[in-house]
Homo-oligomer: A and B are copies of this chain.
Amino acid sequence: MAMDDRKQRILMAIVSLYATDGEPVGSNLLSRYFDMAVSSATLRNEMAALTKLGLLEQPHTSAGRVPTAKGYRYYVDNLLGGHLSLNRPSRDKIDALFQGLDYDPEKLAQSAAKALSGLLSYAVLVTTPLAQNPSIAHFEVLQVGRYTAAVLAVTAAGSVRTRVAKLDFELGREDASRYADTLNRYLRFVAEPDVNSGLIRTMVDSLGSAGPRAWPVLSAALTLLSEVGRPSIYFEGHQYLLQWPELEPGLRTLLELVGSRERIEALLQVGDTRTMVLFGDELPDKPIPGLCLVSRPYHAGGGLSGTIAVAGPARMPYREIIPELEYFSELLGRSMSGERGPGL
């Protein structure tokens, strides 16, 4: 029993009807939708077959059919078609969002998440862009208080992070530049996994007697190094998750997931080059029934890429959301690489 053409069309119709109404689709409604091409009885037979294949399910015996996660998987993988087109009004709205946004990657990521979330009325997740092999191109150490120093790292990709270190003694200008030299000598362009205790010892030793008391600075630098490999993650529009009753049972799990940096990172690390659709039912540890994550990398130039994702129920209007997300991610990438959008 394979997926012949008619079965595919039926699945598509059910996905589409269920997306708009949110109610199980019965054979009658479906036959009206098919406009009398076949009778409801035939549709019933087909639907039974699709149910046996695991692509549809019934909430209860006398209810209509609803696509399963597997059904949606089949739908997005085989039926959605590669090139969805973006309608003019959406394109214009997205263009408008990018007017007057800031260049700074962190700010941009956050405001992009907020803006897209507001536009779509879905929750949106954006990570800041990262290079494939993140490392730090340049360190600076600045005195910022009597006993505090700021350690500043410029990544190979040009973004900047700082961290404040607290010292036991009053830092002088020469100390600061000496520490910066040391950091630059030993940690420039070093990838995080290559840092080991030997390297750390060498660094401390190279500072001579000042080594141990400089430890907070080194430690801050090492923390920065470990951080440049981790993007910031902005999740905006929590409130939109509440509007989908089918997400309610898993809402708590979902919010815990969102609160846990590691797990979110793991989810998004499917770094493909295409738009990905991931269903909550397919999650490795704790499945979240009914959830769907449409994610897509964006490229900010210079090998930098981040992820942008829309979170909502599995019955999302993919035909609209996907091209919108794709166009948005393109503009976001351009914005981040400093180009101006088409409107400017």
Q: Which residues of B contact A158 (CB under 8 A)?
A: 144-145, 148, 164
Within 8 A of B (CB), among A132-169: 138, 140, 142, 144-145, 147-148, 150, 152, 154, 158-166
A-B contact list, 16 entries, CB within 8 Å: A103-B165, A103-B216, A104-B163, A104-B220, A107-B163, A138-B144, A150-B154, A152-B160, A159-B164, A162-B162, A237-B259, A238-B238, A238-B255, A239-B252, A239-B256, A242-B252
Indicate if A223 sits at the interface (CB-CB under 8 A): yes
- Among residues 234 to 282 in chain A, which have CB atoms less than 8 Å away from a CB atom of chain B? 236-239, 242-243, 251-252, 255-256, 258-259
Chain A at the B interface: SS class: mixed
- Kindly state whether residue A330 has any CB partner on chain B within 8 Å: no
Cα-based distance from A70 to B220 in the complex (angstroms): 49
A338 is an interface residue with CB less than 8 A from chain B:
yes
A154 with B140, Cβ < 8 A, contacts A238-B238, A242-B252 known: no
A167 CB, min distance to chain B CBs, angstroms? 9
Chain B residue, CB-CB nearest to A163: B104
Cα A140 to Cα B142 in complex, Å, equals 10
Q: Which residues of B contact A142 (CB under 8 A)?
A: 140, 152, 154, 160
**B residues in contact with A140, CB < 8 Å:** 140, 142
A71 sits at the interface (CB 8 A) = no
The residues of B that contact A251 with a CB separation of less than 8 Å are 239, 242
